[in-house]
Structure 1
Amino acid sequence: MIEDHPNLSKRFFLLGEHIEKIKLFFTDELMLFFESNPYYHIESNGNELLLMRKERVASVKEVKALLD
């Protein structure tokens, strides 16, 4: 659970080997983004990110929208 974002912790499940690194990656700004936008599925192998929405790989347009 991310202590400062209990609503996010109810909606999303964060899992990984390095909990502290995960908490550092998910900044307040990023958490607020996920709290106020549609669901995305994000996976990482430590070097790359996989972004999915609606059980498909996110389009370039969707990735750019995430970055904005």
Structure 2
Amino acid sequence: MACSGSKIPEDADPENPLWRFACRFWESSAAREACLGLQDRGWSVTRILCATWLATSGNVFPGTESAQV
């Protein structure tokens, strides 16, 4: 599965559960706008996507991030 209009890196696994989640999540214009707005304020979209995927999977994000995330 490739995200619409995106070329995935050759070493990426498009069947990876995180990749599939990120592609589905990114299809929402509200999610994209929120992530890109946070990116403009210095946040990492990649880390936000990972933390969101983990949270929706019932897991805890093991990295360090602002409590606001």
TM-score bracket, normalised by the shorter chain, equals 0.3 to 0.5
TM-score, L = length of structure 2: 0.39
Structure number with higher helix proportion:
2
Structure number with higher strand proportion:
1
